[in-house]
Structure 1
Amino acid sequence: MKDFKFVSKTQETLKIALINFALLLIFVELGSLGWYFVKHKQFFYTREKTQNKSDLGINLEGVRLNQSIVERFHPFFGFIQQPSADFRPGFKVNNYGFISPYDYPFKKNKKNQFIIGIFGGSVASDYSIFQIQNKILPQYLKQLPGLQDKEFVILSFATGGYKQPQQLLILNYFLALGQELDMVVNIDGFNEVALSNLNNKNQINLAMPSIQHILPLTSLANNSLSTKAMQTTLRIQENKTKINQGLESLQHCSFAACDALTSVYVQNLVNNYRKDVVAFEKERGQNQQDDEGSVIYINKNKSVLEDSAAFEQMAWNWAKSSIFMHKVLSASNVPYFQVLQPNQYYQTKRVFGEAEKRIAFNNETPYAKAVELGYPALLSKLPNLQKNNINILNGVNVFDKTKDAVYVDSCCHYNKAGEVVFSNYVGSSILESLRKDEARSKKK
């Protein structure tokens, strides 16, 4: 009789536990449905399924899912990204290491095609991707007589870490190969001071490619990459594998709770990836103790230059390179536009919200001081650029009237809202400049 009561009581307890567990699952699912709707503005069960991993609600800014974080040597450009056909829908890392739908040199296959070359570093690379996807610059250009029916082709010659005179050298290289260009937009300034400053601190010639990018390549070539850097590289690779697996699972979730839990898991992996990348960048920036036996030759300075002399030299390298880009393009009547990119470490009237401050600023970054000292040096060269008839767009204040967060990291990159503001500034400024040129030509 006691056994029967015990079994009956156990069954009753188990029944209650199962009911509570089922209710818990229901509440979790209902909560996840609400969370999904707030995040994606659509119901989970009637959602439009996507094969594009960037549309799954995970902030993948700066995550190179299909690329190595270590670049590849290039005998003319310094370094490039590893060519890969699998980058993202509609894009690849092409035969020259640029993110583009096309291999280079690109040849016109229609008479009405209008080719725009984008030069610079990672901000310029992001800009070119955004233009291909959203066509903001073409929308402005279509307002000009003779361009309404053009098919605009955006070609990126920009890569993260590039700084002058790399843009100048790359332009001349592709022109020598017969690349046609109808317009060139060069977006830079940040790398010219932030990365050149790191060169200076490591006694590397300021005009050489970024030591931050070249050093790990020379270390690999010399078999001298530090143990910490190699360990961090392994963690990054492992995280990338897990992130890809998590994104794959997200695409096949049948319940909202699965989507919510997997999203949190993957976003945590992405955050760890970013921390490891910062650690890797810091570690690989450490100079080698002895590079006399290096198989790679890099021009060095006898000593670290004083800041005043260093930033003045950086600014002239930037200005002169831009002047020569303009000269070679003007010989073929190709319009050239120089854009000085905005950066959070150059103080303007912009007011940052607390949430954006946590994302956009890093007290330990070496970039802050470089921008604070370097941007005034760049700005001092604008009159010289204007005297050389260069269309210079000073974009340092472009976000001043924007209340939305625009920065996606503590370096220099913009989120979608920032890309929209920046793209409209560049597009409207180019349109205004071309209209003025057209008006002057009619008066002659």
Structure 2
Amino acid sequence: MLSTIPKQKRSWRRLAIRVIVVLMFTLVTAEIALHVGYAFYRPDLNFSALIDLQHNVIHNESPDRRAARTSVLHPYVGLVIDPTLNSKSNAYGFWQIDGPLLKRSSNTVIVGITGGSVARDLCTFSAETLRNELSRRLPDKEIRIVCLAQEGFREPQLAMTLAYFQTLGAEFDVVLSLSGFNEAVLHPAESRGDALWIGYPRDWDFRLRDTEDIELNRMILEGQTAQVQRKVWAARAYRLRQIPLLSLHGTWAAIDSVYRERADKVTARLIASRDRLVNRYANVGPGTRYESAELRRNAQCEMWCAGARQLHRLSRFKDAKFLLCLQPNLHDGAGKPLTTKEREILRTGSIYREWVIQNYAYFADAGAALRSEGIAFYDLRRLYDGVSSTVYRDECCHFSKAGNDLLAEHIAELISGEVSPRESRP
């Protein structure tokens, strides 16, 4: 029986089928290539990780220190996360775990963790590891953890934060300062000489962006526009998260990298243009000048020690234990066998390395001297010696999930040694 379909229609149908077959073949080939490529070159990046990245961009919750985490000025502690833009922070702008305004009782141990982004990451990634380890060591206690840390925090912000929360009514059994890197390294690496006072928060001169400089305002707008576009594209891709195609979400990752790089370049140009910011007291603080980098380091170290003394006094006055821990760092980790990934991180170079090498040992010695004043100081620089797995995740100071878990386990051991399980609270 002869077909009643006209030849022209049959040819169009065959063409459509061929196009569909070619597209399907291309899609399958692309999926296979992407799976193989990610497996070999980016094993940490899979479909689930891409969806998480989209969510983080939308909600400004990326743990990466370069992310445009939305922070706002705070009248007492400098800067906090804007809780209206980050669902994982509490009403006070700190990462939410427990509380944060808790009262002590006979069956609880409340641990407050202060410091910079490393302390914040300990709360973010390994709070449950710390809780479980402490519960195992102190089985008759309920462990509560309160995050008092923020990215970039350094003394005197740590002492100011504890005083602020205590004034609001928060009580603690243990206060832990996981710090030292920001005080020893951030200022000399990121601020030029004495342009910004060492006692002001990180990038404070840069944070006060009220300026009449047209070019600076244009750069600020350009950077903000790039971040808005990142959120727009992430939201579009996230709506398609039920479609498990790497080619689809990998395309989003490529687009996101363009806008992220654009925002990073704007940030670099803004940092290079610091001199054009209004050189006011509100921006840069007291015009203290140091004759050498060594004298500036000594002043920074003394501020770290003074902050530790104040944390110790504030804790002791409220009958809490205080622990000061100098955090480990990749550039000071001579005893750790480096993995391939960690060697690659070192090869990329770092603006922080020279300052870790120059300043870290001095801070360790100063911390050890605080023991004579009754301060429980622990030098954690050798914590990862002999650990063969990857624990460092970037060229700055941050750890992988495995690194944070090891840190949490060790800190649990230190805390349990300071807190007697027989102690009771009235």
C-alpha spacing 1:32/1:375, structure 2 compared with 1 (3 Å):
same
Q: Deviations over 1:408-444 (max 9, x none)?
A: 3322222212222222222233334547x98xx9xxx
Amino acid at match of 1:172: A
Distance 2:312 2:288 in 1: 33
> CA offset at residue 167 of structure 1?
0.3
Q: How far did residue 34 of structure 1 move?
A: 7.1
Partner of 1:73: 73
SS at match of 1:142: helix
Separation (CA, whole Å) in 1 of partners of 2:58 and 2:322: 33
Residues 12, 298 of structure 1: alpha-carbon distance in 2 compared, 3 angstrom cutoff:
closer
Asked if residue 315 in structure 1 is aligned to residue 310 in structure 2, the reply is no
Contact 1:125 1:158 (8 Å CA) reproduced: yes
Determine if contact 1:351/1:400 at 8 Å carries over to the other structure: yes
The AA in structure 2 aligned to 1:260 is L
**Structure 1 residue 8 displacement after superposition:** 11
Distance 1:316 1:218 in 2: 27
User: For residue 403 of structure 1, what is the aligned residue in structure 2?
Assistant: 388
Counterpart code for 2:174 = M
Residue pair 1:247, 1:266 contacting (<8 A) in 2 also: no
Q: In the alignment, what sits opposite 1:264?
A: 250
Q: Secondary structure at the match of 2:147?
A: strand
What's the offset of the Cα at 1:161?
1.0
Deviations 1:374-405 (A, max 9, x none): 21221121321221222222222222323222
**Alpha-carbon deviation of 1:186?**
1.2
Letter in 1 for 2:90: N
Q: Is the 8 A contact 2:233 2:256 kept in 1?
A: no
Distance 1:268 1:331, change over 3 A: same
Alignment of 1:349-364 (within 5 A): 349-359=335-345, 362-363=348-349
Match of 2:114 in 1: 119
Alignment of 1:145-160 (within 5 A): 147-160=138-151
Q: Is 2:355 the counterpart of 1:370?
A: yes
2:398 alignment partner, one of 413, 416, 420: 413
TM-score (norm 2): 0.80
8 Å Cα contact 2:103/2:172 also seen in 1? no
Per the TM alignment, residue 28 of structure 1 is displaced from its structure 2 partner at its CA by 4.0
In structure 2, stretches of 5+ residues that fail to align are: 1-6, 41-45, 61-67
Residue 9 of structure 1: CA displacement?
A: 11
Cα 1:270–1:223 change in 2 (3 A) is same
Cα distance, 1:203–1:158 mapped onto 2, change above 3 Å:
same
Question: Percent same amino acid among aligned pairs?
Answer: 19
RMSD: 3.8
Partner of 2:22: 21
Equivalent position amino acid for 2:414 in 1: S
Q: Where in structure 2 are the equivalents of 1:30-429 lying within 5 Å?
A: 31=32, 56-58=48-50, 60=53, 65-67=58-60, 69=69, 71-84=71-84, 86-87=86-87, 91=88, 93-101=89-97, 104=100, 106-108=101-103, 112-132=107-127, 135-144=128-137, 147-197=138-188, 198-199=190-191, 201-210=193-202, 212=203, 214-220=204-210, 225-250=216-241, 252-253=242-243, 256=244, 259-272=245-258, 274-276=260-262, 278-286=264-272, 287-289=274-276, 291=278, 294=280, 296=282, 298-303=284-289, 305-359=291-345, 362-363=348-349, 365-429=350-414
Cα distance, 1:433–1:112 mapped onto 2, change above 3 Å: closer
Deviations 1:210-232 (A, max 9, x none): 1x2x2333123666745334312
Query: How far has the Cα of 1:206 moved from its partner?
Result: 1.0
Secondary structure, aligned partner of 1:99: coil
* Matched AA of 1:418: G
Residue aligning to 1:48: none
Q: 1:202 to 1:233 in 2, by over 3 A?
A: farther
For residue 285 of structure 1, give the secondary structure of its aligned residue in structure 2: helix
Offset at 1:121?
Answer: 0.9
1:119 is paired with a residue whose SS is: strand
Look up the SS of the partner of 1:21 in the other structure: helix
Residues 122-151 of structure 1 deviation map (CA, whole Å, 9 limit, x = unaligned):
11111112234xx2222232244xx42432
Q: 1:65 to 1:348 in 2, by over 3 A?
A: farther
- The DSSP-based 3-state class of the residue aligned with 2:49 is coil
How far is the alpha carbon of 1:119 from its aligned partner? 0.3
CA shift for structure 1 position 163: 0.3
- The alignment partner of 1:402 has SS state of coil
My pick for the range that moved more, 118-127 or 319-328, is 319-328
Q: TM-score, normalised by structure 1?
A: 0.77
What secondary structure does 1:79 align onto?
strand
Change (3 A) 1:401 1:25: same
> Structure 1 428/110 Cα, relative in aligned 2: closer, same or farther at 3 Å?
closer
Q: Which amino acid aligns with 1:325?
A: L
Going from structure 1 to structure 2, the CA distance change for 1:313 and 1:55 (only over 3 Å counts) comes to farther
Is the CA contact 1:346–1:371 (under 8 Å) kept in the aligned structure 2? yes
How far 1:156 sits from its partner (Å)?
0.7
Q: Which has the higher contact order (CA 8 A, sep 6+)?
A: 2
What displacement does 1:10 show? 5.8
Number of the residue aligned with 1:430: 415
* Residue pair 2:117, 2:152 contacting (<8 A) in 1 also: yes
- Size of the alignment, in residue pairs? 403
- Partner amino acid, structure 2, of 1:122: S
Task: Give the AA of the match of 1:377.
Answer: Y
